Chains A and B, each alone.
Chain A
Amino acid sequence: MAILMQHELDLLKKELLTLGAEVEERVKQAVQALLTGDRKLAEQVKGGDDQIDNMEIELEEECLKILALHQPVATDLRFIVSVLKINNDLERVADFAVNIADRALDLDSSMKIDCPYDIATMAELVETMLKMALDSLVERDTALARKAIQLDDDVDNLHRENFFRVKEAIRENLESMDGLIYYLSISRYLERMGDLATNIAEDVVYHVDGEIIRHGGIQN
């Protein structure tokens, strides 16, 4: 039984990592589309979301099948539970990439508004978190997962700073308010992506150590 299931688990991990790689790529493309004003690339990110959604559903069905047919326990059970959650988180990350692509289209060159904060730096940080979280899954490396989680504070701080910068910019330039609010939304999307990368890393810790570290674990 174990050998049969092991094959399915290996396949599941491979599929999850494929989804992860796809999602990472979407995030990169969305940010690039935004920074370069590449409408075509933004449309491409939007158009590709169905593929991500389908992958998510297929992965979930795969998990349910393994649960029903093999009734995994211990590390196998924790792995399936983690995959179910990470799968969902990745799909949400891709949705935020679509949101960024949407804002990229809204903020097309005709608006000509400069972003009052450094999008590239924040996006890079979020992409790093996502990469670390997925690498920690591949390597079953909880130390790396915990490092990814720590980076979330930096992302949150950036978002907070961005909020004040955008507020200031609006105050100074009321007629650019629409565009500036779009930029604030983008900061918010990136911040949410950081949260989701954190969730993924937390699920890796659960899978490997069996420890739920979310919300600081159960409070006594």
Chain B
Amino acid sequence: MTDIRIENPIIQVNNLKFYYPGNARALHGIDLSFPEKQVTALIGPSGCGKSTLIRCFNRMNDLIDGCRVEGEVILEGENIYSKNTDIIELRRKAGMVFQKSNPFPKSIYENVIYGLRIAGEKDKKLFAERVETSLKAAALWDEVKDRLQESALGLSGGQMQRLCIARAIAVNPKVILMDEPCSALDPKSTARVEETIKELRNEYTIIIVTHNMQQAARVSDYTAFLFEGNLIEFGVTDQLFVKPQNEQTEDYITGRFG
């Protein structure tokens, strides 16, 4: 594994083990540090544990009955698996964008402020301000500013995905977790989302799971390669894609796997 030190990581994963129901271990003791305000891509073949890992960062896996976690995930100095973690607050800090965009059947405006509303916020001025800044950050503002009250379901696939990014941004997260955010999008929409990811890096830490190696190469600063629940290599993206240190990484990214 590449030995690079990440100073002041925003997320520090220590010996993380994850078991699905029936004691099937999906992660075998991951140690990994995520640099702040950088894009880190998680790559690896299907079943390698990359989605499981990213879902550990906002405890999405808690929704699975009978799963079990060992080890630590330290987000901003606190272990998110400690007993007194406020899950709602955790998911505000670590927002998530999914493979399939999932806007609510509400207006564009309501979609963006949804997180604020459920947190009890009522300030309309704040809503308006947050809608604009979030949509701008997600590079969607110019396309929807004149129809904020229209249904989000009328947007194109790429726009919906950027709306979901805006919705995640609206609650001021520290980390945005993206699980295959472009896999259902055409190349043009993918390009817009990728552009957005690059822009967001100035303000947020982004962790992205992708099957698309070229996407990982294009958008990320760091890449982690996982295989069979183990971290095989973690490194600076351009180095990993030009000169990987590990033979398994080389085989995977060049498509000579197995």
- Where the two chains meet, the residues of A that have a C-beta atom closer than 8 Å to any C-beta of B are 1-2, 5-6, 71-78, 210
A210 neighbours in B (Cβ, 8 Å): 242-243
B213 neighbours in A (Cβ, 8 Å): 73
Quick check: is B250 within 8 A (CB to CB) of the other chain?
A: yes
With A210-B242, A210-B243 as known contacts, state yes or no: A75 contacts B250, CB within 8 Å. yes
Count of chain B residues with Cβ under 8 Å from any Cβ of A? Answer: 14
How far is the CB of B190 from the nearest CB of chain A, in Å? Answer: 14
How far is the CB of A211 from the nearest CB of chain B, in Å? Answer: 8
Contact B255 A74 (CB under 8 A): no
Report the nearest A residue to B245, measured CB to CB: A210
- Where the two chains meet, the residues of B that have a C-beta atom closer than 8 Å to any C-beta of A are 213-214, 217, 241-244, 249-250, 253-257
Contact A2 B254 (CB under 8 A): yes
The CA of A7 and the CA of B108, in the complex, are separated in Å by 49
A6 neighbours in B (Cβ, 8 Å): 256
Contact A74 B241 (CB under 8 A): yes
A1 neighbours in B (Cβ, 8 Å): 255
Report the nearest A residue to B214, measured CB to CB: A71
The CA of A12 and the CA of B139, in the complex, are separated in Å by 42
Contact B243 A78 (CB under 8 A): yes
Report the nearest B residue to A71, measured CB to CB: B214
Report the nearest B residue to A1, measured CB to CB: B255
Report the nearest A residue to B239, measured CB to CB: A210
6 contacts between A and B (CB under 8 A): A2-B256, A73-B217, A73-B241, A74-B243, A77-B242, A78-B243
Contact B242 A78 (CB under 8 A): yes
Contact B244 A74 (CB under 8 A): yes
B249 neighbours in A (Cβ, 8 Å): 74
Report the nearest B residue to A209, measured CB to CB: B243
A73 neighbours in B (Cβ, 8 Å): 213, 217, 241-242, 253-254
The CA of A14 and the CA of B211, in the complex, are separated in Å by 32
Contact A76 B242 (CB under 8 A): no
The CA of A76 and the CA of B214, in the complex, are separated in Å by 14
Contact B254 A72 (CB under 8 A): yes
The CA of A78 and the CA of B239, in the complex, are separated in Å by 12
A71 neighbours in B (Cβ, 8 Å): 214
A77 neighbours in B (Cβ, 8 Å): 241-242
B257 neighbours in A (Cβ, 8 Å): 2
How far is the CB of B244 from the nearest CB of chain A, in Å? Answer: 5
How far is the CB of A81 from the nearest CB of chain B, in Å? Answer: 9
Residue of B214, B217, B241, B255 near A5 (CB, 8 A) is B255
